[in-house]
Amino acid sequence: MDPNTSRLNDMFGSFPEAVILLMDGECTYSNEHGKRLLQEGAFPEDLLYALAEHPGDAIEVATAQAIYRVTVSPFERGYLLVMRLLPPREPQEHPFSHATYRLRESITNLTTTHAQLRQELEERYLDEAFLRELANENRFTYQLLRLVRQAELNEDLNNKTFPREEGFDLAQVCSGMADEAVWLAEYAGVQFSFTSNTTTLPFQASKSLITQMILAVVSNAIRAAGKGGHVEMRFQSVGDRCMISIRDSGMGIPEDRMATLFTSEVPTGLPRPGEGSGLGLYNAQRIATLHGGIMVAQSGRDGGTTLAISLPIVTPPSVPVRNNPGYDNPGGYSPVLIEMSDILPWEAFNAATRDD
């Protein structure tokens, strides 16, 4: 045995967690737990190197098999990664679980009636105060619709009743969503930017689930950034994987919250509109796992949080033209507007209604 390997085994061989040492861009040592992870392919090498770029930060990684708390520390000429296995997750039930579809029908009817009423009243040249009241009512309806859609998604994931897979352009889905997020985030006082290293990426997956996954991460970042903050969204395709990363300029995630980020408990009572259900990132991680992906949360010591999703690229046999560009708008409602409804002022709903 190499003397250096023997020395490292003496230091880390008995660790109950996986230990991996990266030096000069290579994995130079791993204990038995670490070797098992590498052999199983749970951690792609490019992901390990990316994690090593954030020593001292709190990092949580969710793979298809488990969730790990990762600690990165400088060690000699490289970085030492210690991966602590977190307790298994228990399926969480949304407070709306047993009434979702009936609620969706009622709220949709309410929204349709509201739109018809507004159209008729606008012909009477409404003043600004009345327009504001109508927009506030519209915002409240969207908040209810958001809670119902979250409950429906959670039930589908718990019951394993997933929408069908299809061919679509993932790059166009991300850019279309970002285009709308830019101007909606402005209403919340947040600067939103988007960059991509490709304009097209044919992808085989459940388009509606992937859309909900990205929406959850984007809206979470805009909330965390807060008024006066900024959010950076990046889409990259490298080799046989693609990466969607969203970084916010907020306060960061507290240490105690990082340990349960992807396993949040649902509030005991019904959440009020604007509070959410606490299942956004939990379900986003489950969707990533369903598609063979890995989700990483990294909170910096100086504030700010990065959530990144790495997905294997599955190329479809074809991509229907009707799916491009952009993402689906189920029921004619903007998914971005629904997801951000609890943080937007009334002016955003006034503009959205006029555009409709």
The average pLDDT across 79-86 equals 88
Q: Is residue 259 over pLDDT 90?
A: no
Q: Is residue 169 over pLDDT 90?
A: yes
Give the pLDDT band (50/70/90) at residue 94: low
pLDDT of residue 111: 64
Mapping DSSP onto H, E and C, the string for 12-31 reads HCCCCCEEEEEECCEEEEEC
Q: How many CB atoms lie within 10 A of CB 179?
A: 15
pLDDT of residue 124: 62
Q: Is residue 203 over pLDDT 90?
A: yes
The average pLDDT across 130-144 equals 71
The average pLDDT across 4-32 equals 87
**Residue pointed to by tokens 């085989």:** 204
Tell me which residue of 186, 191, 173, 133 sits closest to 335, measured CA to CA: 173
The average pLDDT across 22-32 equals 86
pLDDT of residue 354: 43
Give the pLDDT band (50/70/90) at residue 115: low
Q: Is residue 145 over pLDDT 70?
A: yes
**Which structure tokens are listed for 83?**
């991966």
Q: How many CB atoms lie within 10 A of CB 140?
A: 18
- What is the chain's mean pLDDT, rounded? 78
DSSP state of 197: S
pLDDT of residue 270: 45
The average pLDDT across 186-193 equals 94
The average pLDDT across 59-86 equals 85
Ramachandran assignment for 86, one of left (phi > 0), alpha (psi -120 to 50 degrees), beta (any other):
beta
Q: Is residue 190 over pLDDT 90?
A: yes
> What is d(CA 344, CA 3) in angstroms, rounded to the nearest whole number?
61
Yes or no: say if 218 and 181 are a contact pair by the CB < 8 Å rule. Answer: yes
pLDDT of residue 324: 45
